[in-house]
Amino acid sequence: MTTMRFDAGEIVTAMITPMDEDRKVDYKALEKLVEHLIATGTESILIAGTTGESPTLTHEEEVEIFKFVKKVANGRVKLILGAGSNCTETAVMATKNAKECGADAILSVVPYYNKPSQKGLIEHFSTIAKSTDLPILLYNIPGRTGITMKPETIATLAKMHKNIFAVKQSLADMDVITETRRLCPDDFIIYSGDDSLTLPMISVGAYGVISVASHIIGKEMHKMLDLYKSGNVKEATDMHLKLYPLFKKIFMAPNPVPVKECLSKMGIIKNFVRRPLVELDETERKELYEVLKEYV
């Protein structure tokens, strides 16, 4: 891939939202986290995605968090704001709010729960794309939305709308990734949406990863991608195998519960999640720490 419609970089971190004891946004910890991510190789920060506990953030909180991160980052990384909804009108409104806030791009998830057809997905995302000049990153995550956006649908949208620049693919079917790459324009980007699938997806045409593990091992993930793309496939594979236990363990419980536990252990945030999520118990923490100690 020689050109891109919008370059968010190879490592985009789907950032957690730090919480305090009252489960309010912890802005002091958030500043520390942003600095940590930038220092360890994050090229774009995704704010108010699923990892950021968007289902339990208010729209006002999302805007406040974005404005705070924008001030802290001060142009050092690009900022992507989660602006999706299962209501097209709401998604358009959220997209316009993202533009007003100064987002560099938005993430727009496949509508969840109401299960639209592929034709409905084209209508939904086309309406959003026509409402803005912001770059749009599609988010295909069947495990949370209940439906799969097919490669043909992604390709149709990529060809219809130049500002739809990429898709985050959170599914383990390499045939789907291959077909997406085969059908989409060369300047359209595919991101892995699962850390453990990053290297396999890169091998069939993905560009990078929208990562949770980069909260902890951002530099190592960059090295893995650099090795592969420079032709050192064996070394990249060895690094993938080394990182794999952590990739899997940070999803031992619903995301972002384990990664928040890791960041708390590293002294970056306090370990609180909003209900209905619950923190790990003592047995689970010990199991996670046993793996984490190999990396930090």
Backbone torsions φ then ψ of 107, nearest 5 degrees = -105, 130
Torsion of CA 87, 89, 95, 97, to 10 degrees: -120
Q: Which residues contact 228 (CB under 8 A, 6 or more apart)?
A: 199, 202, 203, 236
Q: Which residues are catalytic?
A: 139, 168
Residue with token string 């970089």: 9
In single-letter form, the type of residue at position 9 comes to G
Sign, CA dihedral 199-242-32-269, equals positive
Alpha helical stretches, state H, 74-191: 88-101, 118-130, 142-145, 151-160, 174-183
The 8 Å CB, 24+ separation contacts for 121-128 are 121/149, 121/153, 121/157, 122/153, 122/156, 122/157, 122/160, 123/88, 124/88, 124/91, 125/157, 125/161, 125/164, 126/157, 126/160, 126/161, 127/88, 127/92, 128/88, 128/91, 128/92, 128/95
Minimal CA–CA distance to 268: which of 31, 68, 70, 13? Answer: 31
What DSSP character marks residue 109? E
